[in-house]
Amino acid sequence: MTAVDHANAGYRRLYEQDGLSFGLGFPLTGEQESTPDIDAELRLASHAEAVGFDALWARDVPTYWPRFGDAGGAFDPWSLLSHIGAHTESVALGTASIVLPLRHPIHVAKSAASVDRLSDGRLVLGVASGDRDPEYPAFGVDPDNRGHLVRESVAALRALWREEYPTLDGSWGHIDGELDVLPKPTTDTLPVFPTGNARQSTEWIAENGDGWIFYHLPESTLESYLDTWRSHAPEKPFTIAVQVAFAADPTAEPEPLHLGYRAGVEWFREYFRRLNDYGLDHVIVGLRAAEPQAAITTFASEIIDEL
């Protein structure tokens, strides 16, 4: 995969190597409905880096909605990634994904550039339009305006990172050239990855994103998406998220999970080999395991090392 001109260290770690790279999504402990033990999260993050994972991905879930059944790891992604970055060496730090309609672009620009600078350029910024209905009235946001807000925010972020004392107008406010936003990122602009459709066309994502993050897709659908993406953005990477649960029997055939599978490690090894052959660039793995450290070790030794 050919990197974009402004690629930072995180982007290069994920997308300048040959073949498929792998990241892990928080919470690494698997705690979905409460606040995970941060010491355990930190130990698992360090272990994941040591055994060969290339990225650690934090989600942006501003509020906990019990009906959704998923707190997203509970911690604010900027704080979590700063803490993880201070205790790791070179693993990429990703957001999957910042809900742009619920955040002011000046805050996003400053927070993202801060994490990037504090981690020596390791931040990869996934962005999204959001999917939890009660959050929009909580933030005073019209959900029907999400698509416009994503486009407006991405344009503002690029200008705030690239320009000194920019002049900008948007529904979020106005800057008239008297103010600047510091720090600037380590590169010209941070790599921005729209997630899902983000209420946008494929053409817009290809033109305005540095790559595309998508949810788990059946293999035939994934091949179709990759073909479409390559026709629009042949040099920009495609990433998916997959939930993975190892069956006790290493030869077990797959059973469907929400956005992934439960299967034996042998099936997963062949599955990820196929994804690599399709030309997929990166996978965000959500490991479901009673003993997460052992599962991380197994994934690294039986899949990453054998790919």
Give the pLDDT means over successive 10-residue stretches in the chain (307 positions). Answer: 67 95 97 92 98 98 88 93 98 98 98 98 98 95 97 98 98 97 97 98 98 97 97 97 98 97 98 98 97 98 97
- CATH 3.20.20.30 matches 9-306: yes
Distance CA 189, CA 217 (A): 30
pLDDT at 3: 42
Domain ranges of the chain: 9-306
pLDDT at 230: 97
Cα 148 from chain centroid (whole Å):
21
Task: State pTM to two decimals.
Answer: 0.96
pLDDT at 67: 86
